A = this chain, B = another copy of it.
Amino acid sequence: MSSNLTYADWIAVDWGTTHLRAWAMSADGTPRAEARSDDGMGRLARDAFEPALLALIEPWLGAGIMDVLACGMVGSRQGWAEAPYASVPTKPSELAPVPVATNDHRLRVWILPGLKQTAPPDVMRGEETQIAGFLAAAPGFDGVLCMPGTHAKWVQISAEEVVSFRTFMTGELFDLLAGHSVLRHSVAGEGTDDDAFREAVSETLSKPEMLAQRLFSIRAGQLLEGLSGQTARARLSGYLIGAELSAARPYWLGQDVVIAGAPALVHSYAMALATQGVTARTSDADPLTRLGLMRARSTLKESAS
């Protein structure tokens, strides 16, 4: 079988704590196919990573050697192989992928390192690749990238470098409160209420010190006033995103902000910033991940040639 018949030219992998996603990529960076599983870093022993990857990408392999570029928690100390953090300030486009030994000789796997910041202490794994992708598409960007998610990041970028960043546990807090606290009885599984969301964001930004007492008021409001599940969900989201905006103020006040993430979350953050008079541009995160991985692959090929 000639390598021309192989379905993928290379494979891009986003491997987080709870998810594994792979794309069969063409040489020009177009995704030809996508596969995903729940085999996140969090549930895999070290020798289980290669089988978990093969379970997804086997159909895309030919007889030749396949390059696999991966980012995310797969490169943490508890991951497949540690790709030590690079320190900020640093250029995400210059992060050197770390080669990983494999048993299957058809695979040639690299993992991208994450970033660390000393003061204040902070870390990221995965977002640095999206940032590299973002900068590949928007060279010369000088401003802030807001990356909502389980652990949301706000990233100051200048001269192609990540200058500083901060992490907020907003997404994880929302999931814990909506799914596992007493509020689970009050918060709907889906649906929203834009007016209630905007009001909750504004309330929190104007009196951030009152956050702690707003959370239980969602439960009491449902018990005593028949607050709907959708409105409760919107309020909880608004309180938590409002608290994040309150602490991240230096990152958005007077800054050029781009929000990159899953579309529904991006929409919520854009709405929240709009209550403060900030108009942010938006971007879907997945294409940025693939673009960042393609950029990393091209540096490998350059250094090999």
Contacts and interface: CB of A to CB of B under 8 A. Distances in A.
9 contacts: A116-B224, A168-B212, A172-B181, A173-B177, A173-B215, A176-B176, A176-B181, A210-B247, A212-B240
A178 to B, nearest CB: 11
Given A120-B220, A173-B177, A212-B244, 11 more contacts: A121-B221, A121-B224, A122-B220, A169-B182, A172-B181, A173-B181, A176-B177, A209-B246, A210-B246, A210-B247, A213-B248
Interface of A: 17, 116-118, 120-123, 151, 166-170, 172-173, 176-177, 180-183, 208-213, 215-217, 219-221, 223-225, 240, 243-244, 246-249
B167 A216 contact: yes
A239 to B, nearest CB: 10
Most chain B CB within 10 A, of A166, A168, A247, is at A247
A177 B170 CA distance: 12
Contacts of A181: 169, 172-173, 176
